[in-house]
Amino acid sequence: MRQVISLLVENKAGVLSRVVGLFSQRGYNIESLNVAPALEADASRITLTTITDEAGTEQVVKQLSKLINVVKVTPYDSATQVLREMALVRIQVNESNRTEVLALSEVFRARVIDVRPTSYIFEVTGQAEKIDAFLQNAQVYGVRELHRTGELTLSRGKVGKKQSSSAREKPALVNDPNQKTPSKSEVKAKHD
Protein backbone atom coordinates (compact mmCIF):
# COMPACT_ATOMS: atom_id res chain seq x y z
CA MET A 1 0.00 0.00 0.00
CA ARG A 2 1.10 3.58 -0.66
CA GLN A 3 2.28 5.31 2.50
CA VAL A 4 3.09 9.02 2.81
CA ILE A 5 5.45 9.99 5.63
CA SER A 6 6.22 13.57 6.65
CA LEU A 7 9.37 14.46 8.57
CA LEU A 8 10.37 17.67 10.30
CA VAL A 9 14.17 17.77 10.30
CA GLU A 10 16.91 20.18 11.27
CA ASN A 11 18.21 21.93 8.18
CA LYS A 12 21.72 20.44 8.24
CA ALA A 13 23.96 18.77 5.69
CA GLY A 14 23.57 15.00 5.38
CA VAL A 15 20.04 14.66 6.81
CA LEU A 16 18.42 13.81 3.48
CA SER A 17 21.20 11.33 2.71
CA ARG A 18 20.59 9.51 6.01
CA VAL A 19 16.82 9.38 5.39
CA VAL A 20 17.23 8.01 1.85
CA GLY A 21 19.91 5.58 3.05
CA LEU A 22 17.55 4.15 5.64
CA PHE A 23 15.00 3.34 2.93
CA SER A 24 17.57 1.71 0.64
CA GLN A 25 18.95 -0.38 3.54
CA ARG A 26 15.43 -1.71 4.21
CA GLY A 27 14.81 -2.40 0.49
CA TYR A 28 11.99 0.14 0.16
CA ASN A 29 11.69 2.31 -2.94
CA ILE A 30 10.84 6.00 -2.53
CA GLU A 31 8.07 6.79 -5.04
CA SER A 32 8.14 10.58 -4.51
CA LEU A 33 10.28 12.91 -2.42
CA ASN A 34 9.83 16.58 -1.53
CA VAL A 35 12.10 18.74 0.60
CA ALA A 36 11.36 22.37 1.42
CA PRO A 37 11.96 24.90 4.20
CA ALA A 38 9.56 24.63 7.15
CA LEU A 39 7.99 27.44 9.13
CA GLU A 40 10.81 27.23 11.66
CA ALA A 41 13.93 29.03 10.42
CA ASP A 42 16.39 26.17 10.90
CA ALA A 43 14.11 23.30 9.86
CA SER A 44 12.99 21.59 6.68
CA ARG A 45 10.04 19.37 5.89
CA ILE A 46 10.63 16.13 3.99
CA THR A 47 7.57 14.40 2.55
CA LEU A 48 8.03 11.04 0.89
CA THR A 49 5.83 8.32 -0.54
CA THR A 50 6.75 4.66 -0.44
CA ILE A 51 5.05 1.30 -0.98
CA THR A 52 4.96 -0.80 2.19
CA ASP A 53 2.61 -2.72 4.45
CA GLU A 54 1.48 -1.59 7.91
CA ALA A 55 4.29 -3.43 9.72
CA GLY A 56 6.87 -1.96 7.32
CA THR A 57 5.52 1.54 7.88
CA GLU A 58 5.74 1.10 11.65
CA GLN A 59 9.35 -0.13 11.37
CA VAL A 60 10.36 2.74 9.05
CA VAL A 61 8.75 5.35 11.33
CA LYS A 62 10.62 3.97 14.36
CA GLN A 63 13.93 3.93 12.49
CA LEU A 64 13.42 7.45 11.10
CA SER A 65 12.68 8.73 14.61
CA LYS A 66 16.11 7.50 15.74
CA LEU A 67 18.05 9.40 13.06
CA ILE A 68 20.17 12.37 14.07
CA ASN A 69 18.54 15.74 13.23
CA VAL A 70 15.05 14.24 12.78
CA VAL A 71 12.69 16.23 14.99
CA LYS A 72 9.32 14.62 14.18
CA VAL A 73 8.02 11.77 11.99
CA THR A 74 4.35 11.69 11.00
CA PRO A 75 2.81 8.95 8.86
CA TYR A 76 -0.19 10.16 6.82
CA ASP A 77 -3.59 9.75 8.46
CA SER A 78 -6.62 10.93 6.46
CA ALA A 79 -8.53 11.82 9.65
CA THR A 80 -5.92 14.32 10.86
CA GLN A 81 -4.13 15.45 7.70
CA VAL A 82 -4.80 16.91 4.26
CA LEU A 83 -3.06 15.31 1.26
CA ARG A 84 -2.50 17.07 -2.08
CA GLU A 85 -0.33 16.84 -5.16
CA MET A 86 0.28 19.32 -7.98
CA ALA A 87 1.12 18.68 -11.61
CA LEU A 88 2.15 20.89 -14.52
CA VAL A 89 0.92 19.40 -17.79
CA ARG A 90 1.67 20.60 -21.34
CA ILE A 91 -1.09 19.53 -23.73
CA GLN A 92 -0.93 19.84 -27.51
CA VAL A 93 -3.74 21.97 -28.97
CA ASN A 94 -4.89 23.10 -32.40
CA GLU A 95 -7.79 25.16 -33.75
CA SER A 96 -10.17 22.17 -33.79
CA ASN A 97 -9.61 20.90 -30.22
CA ARG A 98 -8.84 24.09 -28.29
CA THR A 99 -12.36 24.45 -26.81
CA GLU A 100 -12.52 20.74 -25.91
CA VAL A 101 -9.22 20.96 -24.03
CA LEU A 102 -10.43 24.03 -22.12
CA ALA A 103 -13.70 22.25 -21.28
CA LEU A 104 -11.70 19.29 -19.93
CA SER A 105 -9.66 21.64 -17.76
CA GLU A 106 -12.86 23.12 -16.30
CA VAL A 107 -14.15 19.66 -15.33
CA PHE A 108 -10.95 18.99 -13.36
CA ARG A 109 -10.54 22.60 -12.17
CA ALA A 110 -7.17 22.82 -13.88
CA ARG A 111 -5.79 26.33 -14.32
CA VAL A 112 -4.28 27.47 -17.61
CA ILE A 113 -0.92 29.02 -16.74
CA ASP A 114 0.66 29.32 -20.20
CA VAL A 115 -0.83 29.67 -23.68
CA ARG A 116 1.09 29.06 -26.91
CA PRO A 117 -0.24 28.60 -30.45
CA THR A 118 0.28 24.82 -30.28
CA SER A 119 0.09 24.03 -26.56
CA TYR A 120 -1.38 24.94 -23.18
CA ILE A 121 0.23 24.34 -19.81
CA PHE A 122 -2.20 23.44 -17.03
CA GLU A 123 -1.75 23.38 -13.26
CA VAL A 124 -3.78 20.57 -11.66
CA THR A 125 -3.98 20.24 -7.88
CA GLY A 126 -5.69 17.55 -5.80
CA GLN A 127 -5.50 13.90 -4.87
CA ALA A 128 -3.23 11.71 -7.02
CA GLU A 129 -6.32 9.95 -8.42
CA LYS A 130 -7.69 13.26 -9.75
CA ILE A 131 -4.41 14.04 -11.50
CA ASP A 132 -4.28 10.51 -12.94
CA ALA A 133 -7.83 10.91 -14.29
CA PHE A 134 -6.99 14.29 -15.85
CA LEU A 135 -3.93 12.80 -17.55
CA GLN A 136 -5.89 9.81 -18.82
CA ASN A 137 -8.50 12.10 -20.42
CA ALA A 138 -5.85 14.47 -21.79
CA GLN A 139 -4.00 11.64 -23.60
CA VAL A 140 -6.55 11.95 -26.44
CA TYR A 141 -5.19 15.42 -27.25
CA GLY A 142 -1.52 14.63 -26.65
CA VAL A 143 0.29 15.18 -23.36
CA ARG A 144 3.68 16.56 -24.39
CA GLU A 145 5.29 17.14 -21.00
CA LEU A 146 4.48 16.40 -17.36
CA HIS A 147 5.97 17.30 -14.00
CA ARG A 148 4.39 16.14 -10.74
CA THR A 149 5.35 17.32 -7.26
CA GLY A 150 4.54 14.12 -5.43
CA GLU A 151 2.21 14.11 -2.46
CA LEU A 152 2.39 16.71 0.31
CA THR A 153 0.62 16.63 3.68
CA LEU A 154 -0.34 19.15 6.30
CA SER A 155 -2.07 18.57 9.63
CA ARG A 156 -5.63 19.79 9.94
CA GLY A 157 -6.43 22.43 12.57
CA LYS A 158 -7.52 21.23 15.99
CA VAL A 159 -11.23 20.81 16.59
CA GLY A 160 -12.66 22.32 19.75
CA LYS A 161 -13.22 25.56 21.57
CA LYS A 162 -11.33 28.59 20.40
CA GLN A 163 -8.80 29.93 22.86
CA SER A 164 -8.36 33.59 23.55
CA SER A 165 -5.30 35.09 21.91
CA SER A 166 -3.55 35.42 25.29
CA ALA A 167 -4.17 31.74 26.14
CA ARG A 168 -2.82 30.35 22.87
CA GLU A 169 0.41 28.45 23.09
CA LYS A 170 3.36 29.58 21.05
CA PRO A 171 4.43 27.13 18.36
CA ALA A 172 7.37 24.95 19.36
CA LEU A 173 10.64 26.09 17.84
CA VAL A 174 13.35 23.69 16.78
CA ASN A 175 16.06 25.73 18.51
CA ASP A 176 14.08 27.05 21.50
CA PRO A 177 16.55 28.75 23.90
CA ASN A 178 14.44 27.61 26.88
CA GLN A 179 14.47 23.99 25.79
CA LYS A 180 16.98 21.64 27.42
CA THR A 181 19.70 20.57 24.98
CA PRO A 182 20.38 16.83 25.17
CA SER A 183 23.83 15.79 26.30
CA LYS A 184 26.17 13.82 24.01
CA SER A 185 25.45 10.65 25.99
CA GLU A 186 21.67 11.13 25.51
CA VAL A 187 22.16 11.64 21.76
CA LYS A 188 24.43 8.60 21.58
CA ALA A 189 21.91 6.48 23.52
CA LYS A 190 19.18 7.56 21.09
CA HIS A 191 21.13 6.12 18.18
CA ASP A 192 22.27 2.85 19.76
- Which CATH number belongs to the domain containing residue 123 in this structure? 3.30.70.1150
73 shares its domain with 87 = no
The more confidently predicted of residues 149 and 167 is 149
Does 164 reside within a domain? no
Whole-structure pTM value: 0.72
Q: Are residues 90 and 66 in the same domain?
A: no
What pLDDT is recorded for position 162? 53
Q: Which of 139, 137, 101 is nearest to 119 (CA)?
A: 101
Residue type, 55: A
Give the residue with greater pLDDT, 177 vs 11.
Answer: 11
Domain that holds residue 123: 82-152
Q: What is the pLDDT, as a whole number, of residue 160?
A: 61
Q: CATH number, domain at 74?
A: 3.30.70.260
Residues 74, 7, single domain; the answer is: yes
- Look at the chain and report how many structural domains it folds into: 2
- Reply yes or no on whether the pLDDT at 33 is more than 70: yes
- pLDDT value, residue 158: 76
Based on the domain organization, do 74 and 114 belong to the same domain? no
Which of these three, 62, 78, 94, is where a domain ends?
Answer: 78
Confidence band, pLDDT 50/70/90 cuts, at residue 181: very low
Same domain, 72 and 13: yes
What is the predicted pLDDT for the residue at 165?
Answer: 42
Q: Is residue 102 included in any domain, yes or no?
A: yes
Q: What is the pLDDT of residues 78-87, one digit of tens each?
A: 888 999 999 9
Average pLDDT, stretch 81-96? Answer: 95
Q: Give the model confidence (pLDDT) of 136-153 as tens digits.
A: 999 999 999 999 999 999
Residue 179 is assigned to a structural domain of this protein: no
Say if 94 falls within a structural domain.
Answer: yes
Rounded Cα distance between 152 and 192, Å, is 31
